[in-house]
Amino acid sequence: MTQTAHSPALTASQSSWRCVQAHDRQGWLALMADNVVIEDPIGKSVTNPDGSGVRGKDGVAAFYDTNIAANQLTITCEETFPSSSPNEIAHILVLRSRFPGGFTSEVRGVFTYRVNDEG
């Protein structure tokens, strides 16, 4: 049995994917601590203008409303990399999005997840 089999970070990341794909905003937000930080992507971008990430549940709720709610998102995990801590994990994910109006995109990248001691 590997550490990944019982990792709180693995459970949280998979729950996050399920909620996003099911458009379960409340379930997705319930997975997060009040001091949540999402860096999507890491560094400056349209979704992370100052490079410091989206912070707190209100910020993350707005991020969901702006970037997730309107699209049909499919998440495929290609590979998982456990950490020395059960509270951290990395995945190679492929995100396929279909936006209103028919525009589609595909993003492949390394996505890291960190949970607090409560999971």
pTM of the model: 0.88
Residue 3's pLDDT band (cuts 50, 70, 90):
very low
Residues facing 107 on adjacent strands: 95
CATH number of 3-114: 3.10.450.50
User: Would you state the pLDDT for residue 45?
Assistant: 86
Q: What is the pLDDT of residue 1?
A: 32
Q: Which residue has the higher pLDDT, 92 or 49?
A: 92
φ/ψ of 88, rounded to 5, equals -135, 145
Q: How many CA atoms does the CB half-sphere of 21 hold within 13 Å?
A: 12
CB 72 within 8 A of CB 98: yes
Instruction: Provide the residue ranges of all domains of the chain, joining segments of one domain with +.
Output: 3-114
Residue 92 DSSP SS3: strand
> 């990248």: which residue's tokens?
109
